[in-house]
């Protein structure tokens, strides 16, 4: 999924203009806006950075390089098969990955690149009000990088966790841009009104976004492109930015920006935490599922592995939405999953195996019933699938080849309840070591009634940093966090600012 969710195909194009044409001075604009953003976010800019325009050729080269580094060739070459096997798309259009890249390269609103601390904005006829909003958003990313480290933040062991980390960063920046807009336009809004706005934005649908985009253009080619873009690409963006904003707003409402700041150390473990902030504050863990090594399976010599990853509650919601099946109840109670997508070497037959586990047997039954609806549409009356509930687990295999062998492979799954190692990495160096122990020891014995209580160290969330928290920390001591995904760029599309409604 991280290979899919790295792709932001944004339809609203930026018309090219000549370099000789007068453009707003980005440095001067940034210097004007910096103190405003700092005042809202209550963080100071502590390191130099650059802000600059880039040509279409520079943007194209950069994004191509990013895709080359982060998206495996197996996904690029089998993109249409891949998204259909997972269930993200089942329409009549065949999707070519390289075409999606080309379409997205000229549609980027801006990006922040932590490696060289630069804000990069494509040359185009961007209205000055929109440009200001873009600069506000990107300056917030600069603050995040300077204070919390975006390279670490955007590292994760699976796509669901990566999306949750992205939602924290993008939700933060999206909330700041809205608060900035209210401040600059002199609009007073009560807490209740702000909450209503956040709720409305968080529940924005893909249909609403597509209608807004089509209403804003008279170009039939753009309208056609909007209609043909798979919904899951829009849904991913809405989840990261708008659900992320709702999550950050909830954090801020509970304890101000200090609570938001702490979330960059005590990171959300999954999109489930973003969708349900109460579960984040309760410290709800998940099941770390590990499907067996395919190299040890005798039947896999005829199969090519395309991907192994985690869908999460959010990914499952998107799949249910793809097949017009009510998603919230069906995906609620998610507690962990892992999937494998394969392709047969002889005839390119796809296979999906998916192991899911749920909070309760009732949650598992709801999911199974809903997913049977997906299977009925996906396989159009064939029996090329097997789905079975085993207590709180639901096992699924889909293929016209080796169906029973694939299901038997699923039954060998290993999983254990886990708390993400990231929550013990208090100093952010990706190792649970002595400096983390010293930080923990300095807070040992404190309770929620103490003014300097820090919930990061209350591992079991019982209001007391005590012996049970120490035992949890001790079990993680000496371990290293090894990310398998580390995007080096934060790319922000125009659609986000325009959908918020205050860019005209």
pLDDT at 416 over 70: no
393 band by pLDDT with thresholds 50, 70 and 90: very high
Mean pLDDT to the nearest integer, 411-437: 75
Mean pLDDT to the nearest integer, 17-46: 87
pLDDT the model gives residue 53: 94
Q: Name the DSSP class of 239.
A: I
pLDDT at 255 over 90: yes
Mean pLDDT to the nearest integer, 39-55: 96
Residue 288 contacts residue 336 (beta carbons within 8 Å): yes
| Residue corresponding to tokens 């190792």 | 431
For 139-161, what is each residue's pLDDT tens digit?
Answer: 999 999 999 999 877 778 899 99
Nearest to 87 by CA among 339, 425, 262, 456: 339
- Vertex 444, ends 438 and 449: CA angle to 5°? 135
pLDDT the model gives residue 5: 36
For 430-446, what is each residue's pLDDT tens digit?
Answer: 789 989 999 999 999 99
469 band by pLDDT with thresholds 50, 70 and 90: confident
- 3-class SS of residue 51: strand
pLDDT the model gives residue 304: 94
- For residue 94, the surrounding DSSP H or E stretch is none
Mean predicted lDDT score pLDDT of the chain: 85
pTM for this one? 0.83
For 95-115, what is each residue's pLDDT tens digit?
Answer: 888 777 766 665 677 899 999
At the topology level, CATH places domain 428-476 in Type 1 dockerin domain (1.10.1330)
222 band by pLDDT with thresholds 50, 70 and 90: confident
pLDDT > 70: percent of the chain: 88
**What CA–CA distance (Å, rounded) separates 74 from 412?**
26
> Residue length, the chain?
504
Q: Which of 31-45, 123-137, 174-188, 406-420 has the lowest mean pLDDT?
A: 406-420
**What CA–CA distance (Å, rounded) separates 169 from 165?**
7
pLDDT the model gives residue 103: 63
486 band by pLDDT with thresholds 50, 70 and 90: very low
pLDDT the model gives residue 88: 94
**What CA–CA distance (Å, rounded) separates 135 from 291?**
43
- Sorted by where each begins, the domain ranges of the chain are 2-282+485-499, 286-418, 428-476
Give residue 109's Cα distance to chain centre.
Answer: 18
For 298-336, what is each residue's pLDDT tens digit?
Answer: 888 899 999 999 999 999 999 999 999 988 899 999 999
Q: Which of 26-30, 57-61, 397-401 has the lowest mean pLDDT?
A: 57-61
pLDDT the model gives residue 342: 96
**What CA–CA distance (Å, rounded) separates 238 from 243?**
7
pLDDT the model gives residue 198: 94
Mean pLDDT to the nearest integer, 448-452: 86
């Amino acid at each position: 999924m991280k290979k899919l969710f790295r792709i932001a195909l944004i339809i609203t194009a930026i018309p090219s203009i000549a370099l000789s044409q007068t453009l707003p001075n980005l440095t001067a604009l940034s210097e004007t806006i910096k103190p405003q953003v700092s005042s809202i976010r209550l963080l100071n800019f502590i390191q130099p950075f650059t802000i600059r325009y880039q040509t279409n050729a520079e943007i194209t080269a950069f994004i191509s390089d990013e895709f080359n580094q982060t998206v495996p060739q197996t996904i690029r070459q089998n993109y249409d098969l891949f998204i259909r096997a997972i269930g993200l798309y089942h329409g009549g259009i065949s999707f070519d990955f390289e075409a999606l890249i080309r379409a997205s390269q000229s549609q980027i609103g801006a990006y922040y690149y932590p490696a060289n601390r630069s804000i990069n904005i494509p040359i185009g006829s961007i209205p000055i009000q929109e440009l200001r909003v873009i600069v506000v958003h990107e300056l917030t990313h600069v603050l995040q990088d300077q204070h919390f480290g975006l390279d670490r933040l955007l590292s994760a062991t699976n796509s669901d966790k990566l999306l949750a980390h992205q939602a924290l960063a993008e939700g933060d920046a999206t909330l700041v841009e809205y608060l900035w807009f209210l401040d600059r336009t002199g609009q007073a809004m009560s807490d209740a009104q702000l909450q209503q706005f956040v709720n409305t934005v968080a529940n924005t649908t893909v249909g609403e976004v597509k209608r807004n985009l089509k209403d804003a253009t008279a170009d039939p080619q753009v309208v056609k492109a909007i209609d043909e873009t798979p919904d899951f690409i829009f849904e991913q963006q809405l989840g990261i930015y708008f659900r992320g904003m709702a999550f950050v707003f909830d954090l801020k409402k509970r304890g101000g920006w200090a609570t938001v700041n702490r979330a960059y150390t005590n990171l959300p473990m999954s999109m489930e935490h973003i969708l349900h902030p109460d579960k984040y504050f309760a410290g709800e863990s998940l099941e770390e599922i590990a499907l067996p090594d395919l190299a040890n399976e005798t039947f896999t010599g005829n199969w090519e592995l395309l991907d192994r990853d985690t869908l999460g509650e959010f990914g499952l919601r998107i799949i249910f939405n793809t097949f017009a099946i009510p998603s919230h109840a069906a995906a609620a109670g998610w507690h962990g999953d892992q999937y494998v997508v394969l392709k047969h070497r002889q005839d390119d037959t796809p296979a999906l195996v998916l192991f899911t586990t749920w909070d309760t047997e009732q949650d598992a039954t709801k999911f199974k019933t809903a997913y049977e609806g997906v299977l009925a549409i996906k396989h159009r009356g064939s029996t090329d699938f097997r789905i079975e509930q085993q207590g709180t687990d639901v096992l699924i295999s889909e293929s016209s080849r080796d169906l029973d062998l694939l299901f038997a492979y699923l039954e060998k799954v290993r999983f254990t309840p886990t708390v993400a190692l990231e929550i013990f990495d208090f100093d952010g160096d990706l190792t649970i070591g002595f400096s983390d122990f010293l930080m923990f020891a300095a807070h040992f014995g404190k309770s929620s009634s103490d003014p300097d209580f820090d919930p990061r160290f209350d591992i079991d969330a019982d209001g007391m940093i005590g012996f049970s928290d120490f035992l949890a920390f001790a079990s993680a001591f000496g371990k290293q966090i090894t990310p398998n995904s580390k995007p080096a760029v934060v790319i922000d599309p125009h659609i986000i600012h325009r959908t918020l409604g205050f860019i005209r």
